[in-house]
Structure 1
Amino acid sequence: MLSVPRLYEKMYARILETALTGGFLKRKIFFWARGVAERWANEKLAGREPGGMLARQYAIAQKLVFSKLKARTGGRLRYFVSGGAPLSPEINKFFYAAGLVILEGYGLTETSPVIAVNTPEDFRIGTVGKPIDGIEIKIALDGEILTRGPHVMKGYYNKPEATREAINPDGWFHTGDIGVLRESFLAITDRKKDIIVTAGGKNIAPQPLENKVKTNKYVAQAVMLGDKRKFPSMLIVPNFDQLEKWAMKRNIIWTDRAQLLRMPTIQAKMEKEVNKELAGAAHFEIPKKIGLLEHDFSIERGELTPTQKVKRRVIDKQYKQLIDSLYEEAERTGVTDQHAIA
């Protein structure tokens, strides 16, 4: 089965929601099984075969929990394939631990379209796999991924200037993506044009940070902004199913989602959840202000590509008033790049 990461993100969120809304025993079993599966996955990914007590516990975890998850996907699925946008390593590892392998790959329309892909034999989470046969990859001095081979297009139709910009005289195609090679496995960091450079000169790759935040059960979508600004900010679309349940348990009353998102209690809650997911990030990478949106980003409004990639510049323009207000509030309250969200 082939899909973009958004499907796996939604599946992951639904699995967690089902576990958390179950009874005490159901939750206990799920998180025990998840812990066992995590240890099992660590052994397998390190090239070791789990044995002894861990192997027996994993067999029980499969029977009690993960067999049901496999049944929900049809019961005969060999593996998923993910492409079109980066997949969160945390989500990939969860499915791998459950026995549902997601093979992440990478390519562009100009490259026919596959450059690299994980396979059942050569598999590493956090990468898009090794180059397929006959394809060359190298990393430029600025970190951009270059590729050469028979998969690269001849050029853009009737656009010689654009073709010269994309393909150098030696035949290397400039992908526009930033990445690294790790023992022949290619890892994508971000789009070159999406790298945020703060006013203080700090370079921030937003996609890995956004992917971390999107693993939180209260978050549906996240976009980091802040190019040429003093510090980064982030726009968040909450997972309203989870957030509204949380609010109702605390007897918070609201008439519509816009009113809910304006409440200081809700803003503090979402800031806390974002901060929790980014606990290991560098100080300058942490968004100092959070803006909450009441609707998803969409293809129809031009905010997402057909493969669900964020159009960062469109979002920056579309929500300029909200974004500017975040920085204006920061100026008034004395928030600088030396302060983190509470």
Structure 2
Amino acid sequence: MSHTQTLIENRPPSVAALFLERVAATPDAEAYRYPVPRTSGEGPDAWKSLSWAQTAERVNAIAAGLIELGVRPEERVALASSTRVEWILADLGILCAGAATTTIYPQTNADESAYILSDSQSRVLIAENAEQVAKAVEKRAELPELTRVVAVDATGVETDDFVISLAELESRGAARLEKDPELIKERVSAITKDQLATLIYTSGTTGRPKGVRLPHDSWSYMAKAIAATGLVTGDDVQYLWLPLAHVFGKVLTSGQIEVGHVTAVDGRVDKIIENLPVVQPTYMAAVPRIFEKVYNGVAAKARAGGGAKYKIFQWAAGVAREYAKVTQDNFRRTGTASAPFGLRTKHGIADKLVYAKIREAFGGRLRACVSGSAALAPDIGYFFSGAGIHILEGYGLTESSAASFVNPGEAYRTGTVGKPLPGTEVRIADDGEILLRGPGIMQGYHNLPEKTAEVLEADGWFHTGDIGELSDDGYLRITDRKKDLIKTSGGKYIAPAEVEGRFKAICPYVSNILVHGADRNYCTALIALDEAALTAWAAENGLEGKSYAEIVATPAAVEMVDGYVQQLNEGLQRWQTIKKFRLLPRDLDVEHGEITPSLKLKRPVVERAYKHLIDEMYEGAREA
């Protein structure tokens, strides 16, 4: 048995225990950085730091404050907030009190928030601000279990017996700890590995969200397994902006506690570009949409710089892809990422002209990015790889505590999600479905035994609903969602995600694309464009000052997109080609429920909303 295996098998029962170990080991080391928004003037925000000891002081006060409010082990405390340092402090406080965190996205409306609070029987809600507090107060009559709301930012919040501020909770906790200094240590040492730690409601693409029950052991295992991959070290600086209500964001906090590196936390997506040069992270995790946006932004900038600049960019992008493919292939065969002299020379020139600027935009110190939550188009992955931004794709689900697979450092392979984490088993079923087993797998869906039985076998194998294939040396490639595979009326199977990914790598203006063709005799697409890129294009084409909806209605815009669709079709099998498409009158968004807060497309919602456009594309199709 390897040393790694032993480490993972002899893990403590909870991340709360790992947290206390971390604080004892490196009390004075920097743990978190967070922005303090400027009240006046221009310029970037100032950043403040917390050491592990300072973090523990606040975490212990929150934990003791919750105990003071009567929260007992395994009882649920809900957290409705965007990503900020207080989210992490509150989550650790809940865990150290022996309670369990229920996560709620801040974008969730009052009805769905009330459903989650009620289904989880949450006793306390920690809410980010006045807007989040208002949702709970509005639904208070429907929530008899909810005894308190704690406001992180109490600006504009009326406090009373029911609503208190986080500062008040912490001061009550601190007073309790003065009387009972061993309280938190005792609570943490009483936690067992099977005790519920987190209840994450999946923003299901259909129906009510389901609460996924993850025990303390899942996070302790994830922390140890992430450390065992060797991908992160104590010297790293992580930039964390992902929604922490999502399992992908949450797992990053466990790995950090085990390894002890610095994490800079700021969930404001519109601040990413401004923050990267300030934070200068060595690694960060993101979803594919972010890399697509950066790629489209770089392409649009080059195009705006005139024909010659755009030609140079296109040449450099081609060199990057070729270089990435050759070096990855050579690494796989020989163990060194080498390239022939001619290609190295071209790559060196392209680096000075294009790639160096891209790396600077990411802060200049980025060793690797981890991408998950949806498939990254391989062409975009190869582009960044060749430009020196190494994107390690990973794979996992809420039901598997997020990280079941990740690409191994230098040996990463674009287009795959890498190898299983130490301690996780994988099997491919006869129909191609990926099955997983290991300590990261959920205990089941909260209050839904029938739904649990549909996906979780008695011997622990979990049915992911994804289709994939394993290489001889253990790399997993996801080919599609089992339920998203479409079969044309001609009997051909098509993986829409593959066609959509290719289009995103070809068309720099696309934001979202949905390929349709189930039980039809040809494929069609609904395409939403990126507003910023489209506006720039419109200005160059005599359509300045027009709104998004007006631009996409013009023949010129349709013709422009048609050119990219033709280019896409050249590389596809005949039955995969897009015969017709429609441009949507606006981009898809979270508010309309068309994409999840982690930026995944909700196909059924989009297909329902734009049924008239889909029907129009198939009118008279019987003759086609």
Name the aligned partner's letter for residue 593 of structure 2. Answer: G
Deviation at 1:59, TM superposition (A): 2.9
**Corresponding residue pairs, total:** 333
Moved more, 112-121 or 23-32: 23-32
Secondary structure, counterpart of 2:431 in structure 1: coil
For the residues of structure 2 that align with 1:38 and 1:182, how far apart are their CA atoms?
A: 22
1:46-85 counterparts in 2 under 5 A? 46-47=329-330, 48-50=337-339, 52-85=341-374
Distance, in Å, in 2 between the alignment partners of 1:287 and 1:119 is 36
Q: Does 1:34 align with 2:324?
A: no
The structure 2 residue matched to 1:237, chosen from 528, 542, 546, is 528
Between the aligned partners of 1:306 and 1:249, the Cα distance in structure 2 is 33
What residue in structure 2 maps to residue 198 of structure 1? Answer: 488
Q: 1:339 maps to what in 2?
A: none
2:300 matched residue in structure 1: 17
* Mapping 1:212-227, distance limit 5 Å: 212-215=502-505, 216-227=507-518
Checking the alignment, whether the CA contact within 8 Å between 2:548 and 2:586 is kept in structure 1 is no
| Cα deviation, residue 309, structure 1 | 1.0
Change (3 A) 1:121 1:249: closer
Q: Superposed, which structure 2 residues align to 1:87-102 within 5 Å?
A: 87-102=376-391
Letter in 2 for 1:144: E
C-alpha deviation, 1:248, in angstroms: 5.7
Matched, 1:303 2:586: no
1:325 aligns with 2:616: yes
Is the partner of 1:307 in helix, strand or coil? coil
Please give the residue correspondences for 1:99-248 in structure 2 after superposition, counting only pairs within 5 Å: 99-183=388-472, 184-215=474-505, 216-243=507-534
List alignment gaps of at least 5 residues for structure 1. Answer: 337-342
Match of 1:7 in 2: 290
SS at match of 1:212: helix
Cα distance, 1:177 vs structure 2: 0.7
Q: Distance in 1 between matches of 2:581 and 2:459?
A: 45
* 8 Å contact from structure 2 (residues 395, 403) kept in 1: yes
1:267 aligned counterpart, secondary structure: helix
Match of 2:9 in 1: none
Deviating more after overlay: 295-304 vs 40-49 = 40-49
Q: 1:290 aligns with which of 552, 557, 581?
A: 581
Give the root-mean-square deviation of aligned CA atoms: 2.3
Secondary structure of the corresponding residue to residue 349 of structure 2: helix
TM-superposed CA distance for 1:247, in Å, is: 5.5
Give 1:21's aligned amino acid. A
Q: Contact 2:549 / 2:586 at 8 angstroms: preserved in 1?
A: no
Greater Cα offset, 51-60 or 64-73 = 51-60
Matched residues in 2 for 1:37 and 1:319: separation? Answer: 38
Amino acid at match of 1:67: A
Could you list the runs of 5+ residues in structure 2 that have no partner in the other structure? Answer: 1-283, 331-336
SS at match of 2:582: strand
Does the 8 Å contact 2:368/2:392 carry over to 1?
A: yes
CA contact (8 A) 1:254 1:260 kept: no
The answer for the alignment partner of 2:327 in structure 1 is 44
**Code of the aligned partner of 2:512:** Q
TM-score (norm 2): 0.50
Q: Which residue of 2 aligns with 1:340?
A: none
Is the Cα–Cα contact under 8 Å of residues 238 and 294 in structure 1 kept in the other structure? no
CA distance in 1, matches of 2:311, 2:603: 40
Distance in 1, Cα, partners of 2:426 & 2:396: 12
Is the Cα contact below 8 Å between 2:424 and 2:439 reproduced in 1? yes
Residue 274 of structure 1 and its aligned partner are, at CA, apart by 1.4
How many angstroms does 1:220 deviate by? Answer: 2.0
> Do the aligned partners of residues 55 and 326 (structure 1) sit closer, same or farther apart at CA in structure 2, a change above 3 Å counting?
closer
| Structure-2 separation of matches of 1:95 and 1:84 | 18
Partner secondary structure for residue 435 of structure 2: strand
Residue 33 of structure 1: how far off its partner (Å):
3.4
Q: CA 1:328–1:253 in 2, change beyond 3 Å: closer, same or farther?
A: farther
Report the CA distance between 1:243 and its aligned residue.
4.7
Amino acid at match of 2:485: I
Contact (CA 8 Å) 1:213, 1:278: kept in 2 or not?
A: no
Which digits, 9 at most, give the CA deviation of each residue in 1:126-176, with x for residues without a partner?
Answer: 001011111111111111111112221222222221111111233210001
